[in-house]
Homo-oligomer: A and B are copies of this chain.
């Protein structure tokens, strides 16, 4: 671990057992599938077989008459639709598009698009009933590729869509699949290119990939007779589910209670709603019976949000002395059926490692006949970094400069302007590159035919957003921590540790609990690498309130002014006589007699977000006969700001790398020409297994975030950003072939090495 400064923490930096560990390994933890209210019935979704078609007619009458069927719903049953979409008012999501995606209206826009849903007394009857629903489609030509979709003559997903310019240019009167255009620029790009000694320009392509969480989407809902709705679901954000369901069902949010169950992976993909509003609607129509819905793996692949396929062109120039002087880029991202690709995040991340004054990046958010994309771990950044870091690698080779030294020379640092024009706060990219340079891995040679080494850097903003926590001191001196963030990657532990540190008590004395949306103030999603940072800030503030109250109680007990006491190491003592001490447990035990329950609470929008960088090194070997790539050694260096629980930080670093390896080498949404996904199973959608990757070596860099009392930045996102480029760079090193299209599957490599296809 490379640590810039480290105060004497007692809890932070240790590796205790997670509070939810025993429940999970003994099978007691309750996931979405484990909810079975009395009288439960089962919902299933009828999905479009067409990638693009007009819905002429839906006849549900036969299904409705089937014995054992309680309810059938379609788009028109959504209250947001039946009550007129135009009145919905301000919301973070486009409700019309959300409603269209939940249950298709006039058109289906991808294979797997939900068209109707049935609730019946068994899943089997529900499936049979789906077959009785008659849908008359008028098929339309689909468009499946981002560049195809941008053509003037492309089939249009929405005749009314006009390209929205985010830089204020006048709206075209021509309909388009390009939902949004944006531009980031600085300096004089053309003049700067003129000063460059080397210029590299390349085009890159990546395919849609899925987060690949193990647990499929699920929802159990009950609509009570007083129009209150309870939903149990595996989600990254119970309050987000609540807001979206309330919008669609046109209920006040207080009428919707969302109970976040344990979650079997999300990575961004469990933020949007799919089944939740449908299950609620079915329950209402079924007389209030609870309705359970669970997706099959095929449905997860076809109908939930993967991340964008992309086309990216990058042109970059550098001088002989290794200065990056100009970058020009065009990023075109597939949004899927509805707008909202992470293309602007990609644009904002790709240059973040570099202090480059002259750039122009154009972005295009493009709809295609594929599922609407969702967030996926540092959304938008990996594809953009794949392009940028590949071009940088080529520049380094052209200039014969060590690629890490090049990154060090051009590294962004505190004060460097981001592409948005705002200056970076204290960041740790240089420290990451230095740690990579000094690593055993980078100092060890790599030798042998078809073996190569690649490096790349990556960036993620990390998130702030809203958090609320409550802290309650028990009479025995243990503490309950009440929070509303789904624990995906160990946040129960990382939050409990921060509270223990703040209060100066043992970690084991803190019991964290994740509660439902009725039982705590607002919390934004567990996502964007925000929770340990932002909810951690709330934990710190609530803990400080407890400390102040503890001091007040001790002062009251002694009959002195609160100014005369101080809180040191989990005890309150008198400043004038440090032998006069009341411990946390003593004050806790007496709380009923000194003023009642001692509690703390904090609600905030987290300021002081600390961005994250990661620099990675990969050694690999290419089998020239089969095209198989074997990862020989992998090191991930990452600035955590402060690693609260190093094991979980390492786990996040390793997990992101493994997902990046899968994306680089094997994963892709593989469509036929009519827009049917051909590999919608874990057998065919090839994710890395434990046999495919070596142990991932981790180097935690700690450049504390000055915006957080313990220096936390957030660690979940950035590690997935560099692997795509690092692996492509290593394959170039191993083979001399510059690959620009993912995945780097055996077929593509064999074809390229044997000249069967141009790369």
Question: What is the interface of chain A, defined by CB distance below 8 A to chain B?
Answer: 21-23, 26, 28, 34, 38, 90, 222, 224-226, 228, 243, 246, 252-255, 288, 466-468, 470, 472-476, 478-480, 482, 509, 511, 513, 515, 517-523, 589, 591-592, 595-599, 601, 603-605
8 residue pairs of the A-B complex, CB under 8 angstroms, read A254-B474, A254-B479, A466-B596, A468-B597, A511-B518, A513-B519, A515-B515, A597-B604
The 6 A-B residue pairs with the shortest CB-CB distance, nearest first, are A254-B478, A22-B226, A596-B605, A472-B521, A522-B597, A521-B599
Most chain B beta-carbon contacts within 10 A, residue among A252, A478, A479, A517: A252
Quote the shortest CB–CB distance from A628 to chain B (angstroms): 43
**Residue contact A596 to B601, C-beta cutoff 8 Å:** no
With both chains docked as a complex, state the minimum distance between the C-beta of A469 and any C-beta of chain B, in angstroms: 10
Assembly stoichiometry (copies): 2
Which residues from B are CB-within-8-Å of A470? 470, 520-521, 601
> Are A252 and B23 touching (Cβ within 8 A)?
no
Q: Indicate whether A224 sits within 8 Å of B475 (C-beta atoms), given known contacts A470-B470, A519-B519.
A: no
The complex places the Cα of A243 from the Cα of B589 at a distance, in Å, of 12
Nearest opposing residue in chain B for A21, CB measure: B226
Q: Is the CB of B224 within 8 A of A26?
A: yes
Q: How far is B509's CA from A252's CA once the two chains are assembled, in angstroms? A: 9
Give CA–CA (A535, B66) in the complex, Å.
Answer: 52
Q: Are B478 and A252 in contact (CB under 8 A)?
A: yes
Q: Are B596 and A472 neighbours in the complex by a CB distance under 8 Å?
A: no
Tell me the bound Cα distance from A21 to B523 in angstroms.
Answer: 29
Which residue of B has the minimal Cβ distance to A602? Answer: B599
- Chain B residues, Cβ within 8 Å of A225: 22, 26
Residues in chain B near residue A254, CB distance under 8 A: 474, 476, 478-480, 509, 511
Expressed in whole angstroms, the Cα–Cα distance for A601 and B603 within the complex equals: 11
> Contact partner of A597 among B243, B252, B515, B603, CB < 8 A?
B603
Complex contacts, A228 vs chain B, CB 8 Å:
22
State whether A605 and B592 are in contact (beta carbons under 8 Å apart), knowing that A254-B511, A470-B470, A478-B252 are contacts in the complex.
yes
A255-B511, A468-B597 known; 17 other A-B pairs, CB under 8 Å? A22-B224, A246-B476, A253-B476, A254-B480, A254-B509, A254-B511, A467-B596, A468-B472, A468-B596, A470-B470, A519-B519, A519-B520, A521-B599, A522-B597, A598-B603, A599-B603, A601-B601
A513/B520 contact (C-beta < 8 A), A23-B224, A254-B479, A603-B597 known? no
Query: A519 to B517, alpha carbons, bound, how many Å?
Result: 12
Q: A472 to B228: give the CA distance in the assembly, Å.
A: 18
* Cβ-defined contact, B253 with A520, below 8 A: no
Q: Contacts of A591 on B, CB cut-off 8 Å?
A: 522
Question: Within the assembled complex, what's the spacing in Å between the Cα atoms of A293 and B113?
Answer: 48
CA distance A21 to B226 in the complex (A): 9
Interface hub of A34, A222, A226, A513 (most chain B Cβ within 10 A): A226
Q: Are B597 and A253 touching (Cβ within 8 A)?
A: no
Complex Cα distance, B466 from A473, in Å, reads 13
- In whole angstroms, how far apart are the Cα atoms of A640 and B556 in the complex? 34
- By a CB distance below 8 angstroms, the chain B residues around A509 are 252, 254
Cα distance A595–B541 in the bound complex, in angstroms = 14
Contacts of A595 in B (CB 8 A): 604-605
Inter-chain CA distance A474–B603, complex, in Å, is 13
A597 to B22, CA, bound (A): 33
Given known pairs A482-B520, A511-B254, A592-B466, the reply for A243 and B601 (CB within 8 Å) is no
- By a CB distance below 8 angstroms, the chain B residues around A34 are 38
Task: Compute how far the CA of A385 lies from the CA of B595 in the bound complex, rounded to whole angstroms.
Answer: 34
Contact of B603 with A522 in the complex, beta carbons under 8 Å:
no
With the chains together, A670 CA to B200 CA distance in Å?
100
A585 to chain B, nearest CB (A): 10
